[in-house]
């Protein structure tokens, strides 16, 4: 029988609990999250609990991956509800640090709380410089281009969480495919001793990928938001019917997004799933990636296309 959920807010307490679990010879799983947990997170926690004896869920809205003007302030925070969902799905411990615990060098009076980076200069009033992790190349296209600095924030906080919790395995959703590629590359390049496990995207009944940001959608936007899924499925169908030309597949996806009311397409592309380099033809595997705005809400989604692809 599993023990009651433990909740800690400091790195020291986390380390103590993890080393006790290790002393009991338990394997450690980590599910990094920003909270506002939904069925997508629940599936990550369940998979972690199936494969690891002691599952840590981190809940931290990481200011370093938000830019000024993004939704750092209004990002939903619901710790009590999150703890219940995590416990129900097999978590042993919630790690919910505050910003000062994670980034002692941060300036909390700025929004989002900001760390000065060396190439940004920084006057007297700026926050002190901190060490950070950059995964060049992969971090500069698509999501990285739309949100400069985003993947630096993600890679930095994920490496910190890996060092803090020292998990055997860490679980990430396939929905954030570029984030997953960035984390995998960082782990490989820096020889981090953790196995990165990718878990399938969980969808609403109409195909919309679950996301904590879906709650920002108005009822009308919500009604049309599955356009991303429809675009991906249309590309998949065309590949299944024999189409291999990325230009045509891209146009098919773009058309669906463009004809959807309230949908502003940002990109619809076919890329190599590891490097995110754009591909010209489907040979073997390619990842179809889409991003669109509905009002101020930005949604992303993706699906794998293979020369032998089938509809799921």
Q: How far is the CB of 61 from ligand PAF (least distance, A)?
A: 8
Q: How far is the CB of 45 from ligand PAF (least distance, A)?
A: 13
Please list, in sequence order, all residues whose beta carbon lies within 8 angstroms of the beta carbon of residue 157, skipping any fewer than 6 positions away.
Answer: 32, 60, 62, 64, 65, 102
Closest CB to ligand PAF among 34 and 186? 34
Instruction: Give the span between the Cα atoms of 55 and 169, in whole angstroms.
Output: 10
Helix (H/G/I), strand (E/B), else coil: 91: coil
Quick one: tokens of 10? 């400091």
Which one of the spans 75-83, 91-99, 150-158, 232-240 is the region binding ligand PAF (CB under 6 A)? 150-158
Applying CB under 6 A, among 176, 232, 233, 300 the residue interacting with ligand PAF is 176
Q: How far is the CB of 158 from ligand PAF (least distance, A)?
A: 6
Pairing relation of β-strands 263-271 and 285-294? antiparallel
Span 21-60, contacts to ligand PAF by CB under 6 A: 32-34
Q: How far is the CB of 47 from ligand PAF (least distance, A)?
A: 15
Pairing relation of β-strands 169-173 and 195-199? parallel
Closest CB to ligand PAF among 30 and 270? 30
Where do the H-state alpha helices sit in 216-279?
Answer: 219-224, 227-240, 246-258
Closest CB to ligand PAF among 34 and 287? 34
Span 155-174, contacts to ligand PAF by CB under 6 A: 157-158
Closest CB to ligand PAF among 158 and 232? 158
Closest CB to ligand PAF among 249 and 300? 300
Q: How many residues bind ligand PAF (CB under 6 A)?
A: 10
Closest CB to ligand PAF among 100 and 248? 100
Q: How many CA atoms lie within 13 A of 109 on its CB side?
A: 3
- 98 to each of 58, 167, 242, 273, how far by Cα in Å? 11, 21, 51, 34
Residue 94 interacts with ligand PAF (CB under 6 A)?
no
Say whether 41 is catalytic.
yes
Residue tagged active-site, from 38, 41, 119, 224:
41
Q: How far is the CB of 32 from ligand PAF (least distance, A)?
A: 4
Applying CB under 6 A, among 7, 47, 62, 139 the residue interacting with ligand PAF is 62
Instruction: Give the span between the Cα atoms of 37 and 211, in whole angstroms.
Output: 9
Helix (H) or strand (E) holding 285: strand 285-294
Closest CA to 175 of 39, 289, 309, 35: 289
Which one of the spans 139-147, 153-161, 247-255, 296-304 is the region binding ligand PAF (CB under 6 A)? 153-161
CA 116 to chain centre: 24
Main-chain phi, psi angles of 255, to 5 degrees: -60, -45
Q: How far is the CB of 107 from ligand PAF (least distance, A)?
A: 19
Please list, in sequence order, all residues whose beta carbon lies within 8 angstroms of the beta carbon of residue 34, skipping any fewer than 6 positions away.
Answer: 59, 60, 61, 62, 75, 212
For ligand PAF, the binding residues (CB under 6 A) are 32-34, 62, 65, 154, 157-158, 176, 179
Question: Which sequence positions are flagged as catalytic?
Answer: 41
């Amino acid at each position: 029988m599993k023990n009651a959920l433990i909740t800690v807010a400091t790195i020291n307490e986390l380390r103590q609990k993890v080393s006790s679990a290790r002393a009991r010879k338990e394997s450690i799983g980590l599910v990094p999250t920003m909270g506002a947990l939904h069925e997508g997170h629940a599936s990550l926690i369940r998979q972690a609990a199936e494969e690891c004896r002691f599952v840590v869920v981190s809940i931290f809205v990481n200011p370093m991956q938000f830019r000024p003007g993004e939704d750092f302030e209004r990002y939903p925070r619901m710790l009590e509800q999150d703890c219940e969902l995590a416990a129900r799905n097999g978590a042993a411990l919630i790690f919910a640090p505050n910003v000062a615990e994670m980034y002692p060098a941060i300036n909390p009076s700025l929004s989002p709380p900001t760390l000065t980076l060396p190439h940004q200069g920084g006057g007297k009033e700026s926050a002190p410089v901190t060490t950070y992790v950059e995964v060049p190349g992969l971090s500069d296209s698509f999501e990285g281009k739309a949100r400069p600095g985003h993947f630096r924030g993600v890679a930095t906080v994920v490496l910190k969480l890996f060092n803090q919790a020292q998990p055997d395995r860490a679980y990430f959703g396939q929905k954030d495919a570029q984030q997953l590629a960035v984390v995998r590359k960082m782990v490989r390049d820096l020889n981090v001793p953790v196995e990165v496990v990718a878990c399938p995207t969980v969808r609403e009944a109409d195909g919309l990928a679950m996301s904590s940001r879906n709650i920002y959608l108005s009822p009308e936007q919500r009604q049309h938001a599955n356009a991303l899924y429809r675009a991906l499925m249309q590309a998949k169908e065309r590949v299944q019917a024999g189409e291999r030309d990325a230009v045509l597949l891209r146009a098919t996806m773009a058309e669906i997004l463009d004809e959807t009311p309230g949908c502003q397409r940002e990109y619809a592309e076919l890329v190599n799933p590891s490097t995110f380099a754009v591909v010209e033809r489907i040979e073997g595997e390619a990842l179809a990636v889409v991003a669109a705005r509905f009002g101020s809400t930005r949604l992303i989604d993706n699906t794998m296309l293979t020369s032998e692809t089938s509809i799921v």
